[in-house]
Structure 1
Amino acid sequence: MEYERKVCLQRESVMLDSYSGISKKVGMPPGSLIHVGDFDEDDTRISVVDYCHGDLEEPVVETVEDLLKFREKDSITWVCLEGLKNVEITEQIGKLFDIHPLVLEDILNTHQRPKFEEYDDYLYIVLKGLTVADESVDPEDFEVHYEQISILVLNDFVFTFKERKDELFLPLIQRIRNSSGRIRTLGTDYLTYGILDTIVDQNFVLLDTMDERVDAIEEELLDDPDSGTLATIQRLKRELIDIRRATSPQRELVAAILRSDHQLFSEKVDIYFRDVYDHVLRINESVDSYRDMLAGLLDIYVSSISNKMNEVMKILTVFASIFIPLTFIAGIYGMNFEYMPELKWKWAYPTLWLAFVTIPAVLLIYFKKKKWL
């Protein structure tokens, strides 16, 4: 009972932490730009990749105004902002590229549900990026970092807004650097596909780690389960609930993109978004499967503990069954009656000990024959 109470308190704490900071916006008008999130990077890193079929440039950008020179070029410009604590940078991008204040508000408020919104001159996509926390400290721990990633798709610009600095998009950047094929010839819609595909495929790495943890729990259940095993199962179940909350809306998001007839998305890229949709379906099915597996592991744990208790009770019952007749005999000859015929007999004591040895031996043979032992 005490353990269940602790589990409930931990779950409530996780839920409260996931919505921490939202109270900052209470009472403020729509479009108020305030950063609400769990990651507080001290500064914002701006990375730019400007490319076309025959040219690639990765300039160092110090200010948002430096991006205006790329609007004059006939190229695709990918701007990645990592760290949202500096609200002024996001606000400047909104002014220079005519982005609606409500969109900027959603970018900075990192507790958004995955969604896809269409505007006249741009598209807005928001979803969660899931990465496994560093396990070098304790491999038994399984912790997931949830990062909101917002994408603004314009005619020749793509903006990505990330909460923290990492190397998530490095493989995609390497593809742009090394390729002169499809990604360098198609527009911002294909680049958007590449970004979405990178974010979604990261979930497969997460599920592989989850699979390893589930296998380890299964082995532990078959070996010697204890209260720590139950705690691990409960922790994984809670983490899986958060994973499902972050990944299940992605199906609706990609489906909305496939239904879109916006001018920024061409039909030739639809086939690639369908591939992302297939990946999202596989991820959702895997998450549901792991949820069922963890429920099954919990049942196995309860059964294992019950079986261990039954084994203990069986041994205790065998010992009790052996000592019941012995106690009966000892009780009879422990009575203080004067005229008990065996009390004066010379061989009474050895005979009693022979009975004490013979009765347990006979009972043990009988229990073995009945396969109770």
Structure 2
Amino acid sequence: MSVIRPLRAAFELAWRQRPEEPAPGTGATAPASDAVVDCAVYRDGVRRPGPQDPAAAIGQARRRGGRGTFVWIGLFEPSEAELAGVAEQFGLHPLAVEDAVHAHQRPKLERYDETLFMVLKTVRYVSHGELTSTSEVVETGEIMVFVGSDFVITVRHGAHGGLGALRHSLEQSPRQLAKGPSAVLHAIADQVVDHYLDVAADVRDDIDEIESAVFADTRGDASQVGRIYQLKREVLELKRAVTPLDRPLQQLSETSIGVVHPEIRSYFRDVADHLTRVADQVGGYDALIDSILQANLAQVQATQNEDMRKITAWAAIIAVPTMVCGVYGMNFEHMPELRWKFGYPLVLAVIATASWLIHRGFRRNGWL
């Protein structure tokens, strides 16, 4: 297991760092910009052949018209200049564009006229051979989605959370894709929340492992505190991605929004239910880690108290010969049994007897 998990982590990282690719069999050409990983026009749920230049694509979509015709542009970590060009072509709000460029946003949903802007936090479980006080357990990224009546623009930040496979999967369901840009938004939100569930299950394995380690050592191990605290920080990272997404999904499922197809609202309710489940799990993990931390600290404290009792007991035993030897070491002329032949053996016997009686008393009381 210690060998397989690091290899698996390296493989997953290498795979997820690949840029998302156009769906196979579509005849798509290379993107016009390095930031544009895919750009396509969809009509009635079917991808149409054409250029991957955003300006040409939106022009083609608007010439054909129709509710089921839209363009989907996928961007990966675009620069400010690259996103500004796209924003000008699609009339995106400057505040939303600024958020999309700089990332590090909380999950949210904002409306700018007829355009929706949604931020979702992506998460990935980082495989590791053994949890340490510096292990990274949860890696986060972001997906920003601009949704209009005839376009959807996705901006992805982070080495994971690619949308290439999702795009290909949607293209295999033209009936769903024909519902327009909101169908793409739902599919992205659904994939993100499903990844939350997968990561939560993997984090649970780490919690079980550290819980077993803590309670297997009844004497307590202070070195476990660093591991527990690191795991708690990673769970809080997951919690910051999950919890704020509840309100945006509730808005999409309960509020009538022009760019959201009426049939898609019920799909958002299903995603919201899944999010509630994972939020409950993460909240339970946070509370469980607190309990494990308190139990470990209690074990450490109990061990320290036991050690202090033993030290105190031995100090009391050693005090007897120390006191007697100290008295006889003062060289007074008139000392008890000082010139008696058996005085020295008698003093040693008294010291041994007193020490034995004290030791026995401490043993009976559980101090030794």
TM-score, structure 2 length as denominator? 0.75
**TM-fit CA distance, 1:246:** 3.4
* Cα drift, residue 241 of structure 1: 4.1
* TM alignment of 1:183-262, pairs within 5 A: 183-222=176-215, 223=217, 228-262=223-257
Q: Of residues 164, 175, 188 in structure 1, which corresponds to 2:169?
A: 175
Query: 1:23-53 CA deviation, whole Å, 9 max, x = no partner?
Result: xxxxxxxxxxxxxxxxxxx941422465567
- 1:67 corresponds to which of 38, 57, 62: 57
Alignment partner, residue 84 of structure 1:
78
Distance 1:306 1:165 in 2: 43
Partner Cα separation in structure 2 for residue 138 and residue 304 of structure 1: 22
Contact 1:53 1:180 in 2 (8 A): no
Instruction: Classify the secondary structure of the residue corresponding to 1:123.
Output: strand
Give the Cα–Cα distance (whole angstroms) in 1 for the partners of residues 94 and 335 of structure 2.
105
1:337 counterpart SS class: coil
Deviation at 1:341, TM superposition (A): 4.9
- Tell me the equivalent position of 1:106: 99
CA shift for structure 1 position 196: 0.5
Cross-structure match for 2:282? 287
Q: Which sits farther off after the overlay, 50-59 or 231-240?
A: 50-59
What SS does the corresponding residue of 1:343 show, helix, strand or coil?
A: coil
Alignment match, 1:44 = 35
Task: State the alpha-carbon separation in 1 of the partners of residues 271 and 36 from structure 2.
Answer: 28
Matches of 2:321 and 2:142, distance apart in 1: 73
> In the alignment, does 2:142 pair up with 1:154?
no
Distance 1:43 1:188, change over 3 A: closer
Per the TM alignment, residue 313 of structure 1 is displaced from its structure 2 partner at its CA by: 0.7
Number of equivalent positions: 328
Aligned counterpart, 1:309: 304
Matches of 1:105 and 1:262 in 2, distance apart?
Answer: 24
Distance 2:316 2:108 in 1: 68
Return the alpha-carbon distance in structure 2 between the equivalents of residues 359 and 171 of structure 1: 82
| Equivalent residues of 2:122, 2:142 under 8 A apart | yes
Q: 1:335 to 1:91 in 2, by over 3 A?
A: closer
Matched, 1:300 2:290: no
Cα distance in structure 1, aligned partners of 2:276 and 2:45: 36
- Is 2:122–2:161's contact at 8 Å kept on the other side of the alignment? no
Describe the SS at the equivalent of 1:344: coil
- Structure 1 stretch 43-52 or stretch 301-310: which is displaced more? 43-52
**Structure-2 separation of matches of 1:341 and 1:105:** 94
Task: Kindly indicate whether the alpha-carbon contact (under 8 Å) linking 1:118 and 1:262 is maintained by their aligned counterparts in 2.
Answer: no
* Residue 108 of structure 2 is aligned to residue 115 of structure 1: yes
CA distance in 2, matches of 1:301, 1:315: 21
User: Secondary structure at 1:262's aligned position in 2?
Assistant: coil
Could you tell me which amino acid in structure 2 is paired with residue 157 of structure 1?
A: F
Contact 2:40-2:51 within 8 A present in 1 as well: no
| Cα contact 2:119–2:145 (8 A) shared by 1 | yes
| Partner secondary structure for residue 155 of structure 1 | coil
Partner of 1:95: 88
Query: Contact conserved, 1:114 with 1:246, CA < 8 A, in 2?
Result: yes
Please say if residues 220 and 297 of structure 2, whose CA atoms lie closer than 8 Å, have aligned partners that are also in contact: no
> Contact between 1:64 and 1:92, CA under 8 Å: does it hold in 2?
no
Between stretches 250-259 and 167-176, larger displacement belongs to 167-176
1:364 aligns to 2:364 (yes or no): no
1-side partners of 2:130 and 2:300: how far apart?
26
Normalised to the residue count of structure 1, the TM-score between the two structures is 0.74
Stretch moving more, 224-233 or 286-295: 224-233
Task: Give ranges in structure 1 of 5+ residues lacking alignment.
Answer: 1-41
Query: Which residue in the other structure is 2:123 paired with?
Result: 130
CA distance change for structure 1 residues 58 and 278 in 2, over 3 Å: closer, same or farther? farther
1:316-355 map, 5 Å: 316-355=311-350
Gaps of 5+ in 2: 1-32
TM superposition shift of 1:180 = 4.0
Percent identity, aligned pairs only, is: 27
1:273 deviates by 0.8
CA distance in 2, matches of 1:249, 1:197: 15
Counterpart in the other structure of 1:32: none
For residues 187 and 267 of structure 2, the distance between their equivalents in structure 1, rounded to whole angstroms, comes to 9
Gap change, CA 1:349 and 1:232, over 3 Å in 2: same
Give the secondary structure class of the aligned counterpart of 1:204.
helix
Alpha-carbon separation, structure 2, partners of 1:58 and 1:358? 101
Q: CA deviation at 1:77?
A: 4.2
Q: Which moved more, 1:293-302 or 1:256-265?
A: 293-302
CA offsets 1:115-170 (integer angstroms, 9 cap, x no match): 223345432212222234x4459753025433231112233432211124545335
